[in-house]
Amino acid sequence: MEQNKGRSRARRIVIILLAAVMLISGGLSLHSYLEDKRTQEEYERLAELARETTAPVETETPPAPVETEPEKPYVSPIHFEELMEENPDTVGWIKVPDTNIDYPIVQGTDNDFYLNHDFYGKESVGGSIYLDFESQGDFVGRNNILYGHNMKNGSMFKDVIYYKDEKYFKEHQYFSIYTPDREIKLKAVACYYGEAEPIVRKTRFKSQESFDAFIHEMVKPCSFAEDVTYPARTLYTLVTCSYEINDARTFLFAVEVDEDGNEIGPDEDFLQKMDDLMKEKAQAAAAGTKGDQGQEN
């Protein structure tokens, strides 16, 4: 009898423990779901704020003589003044048509903070879309590296992993990054998964030839990579987590194009700017103000 009571008591304890584990697990899952939902709703509100427009006041003006119109100054569709008031780390906005990628881009003093903090600086499992701190904040550097989480709810850089499918790649090949000064039109040229290798983070190159060789090595693993026109101007590297192998990443590479989709090559002014930038970064690295990932090669 006592033995049966002992077994019954042990069984009840096991049931209670299992129930407790299920409650805790369910609670954590619910918390994670609510946190993801809150983060996504905040970014949706942010997208609305960034694109709110005010109707222009109509005034009658006398007809002017017909002349060749001067090129109109760039007016960004994104309200960067409002965004920068919310977060001075704002450097751009990325929009990929027909995907969920429609987010502000921030840049911190390292690559850790925005990994788990949202646009407003709050702790968040979704983090932010952020530019590598070694890249140029105005996107004039050689390799502009963007990071975003691969979220289960489809937010942040989840859609980047779908570019590994050639059909999806072709259907979503063109997208844009907006800055206060310009719209950067981009064309995807390669996508694949691999280990999180530091070489992808290279941002300084001692010559045009070394940069072109770098691009060639980066796109080579993709079986359906587009031909890149050399000499190349810049590279845009989108990075997100992937799960094909341990500590995997999906890399999406893109290049700048003009209105007609033609790749933009480097002109003399750009090459001079790159030379000046390389010297500045070399001096900063020598002074110990930067890490070594952006070193020349």
Catalytic amino acids? 149, 241
Quick one: which of 254, 265, 262 has its CA closest to 169?
254
Say which residues have a Cβ less than 8 Å from residue 85's Cβ, sequence separation at least 6. Answer: none
Between CA 50 and CA 94 the distance in angstroms is 12
Torsion sign over Cα 120, 123, 129, 134: positive
What are the φ and ψ backbone dihedral angles of 183, each rounded to 5 degrees?
A: -105, 125
- Torsion of Cα atoms, 10 then 12 then 16 then 21, to 10°: 50
Cβ–Cβ under 8 Å, residues 77 and 49: no
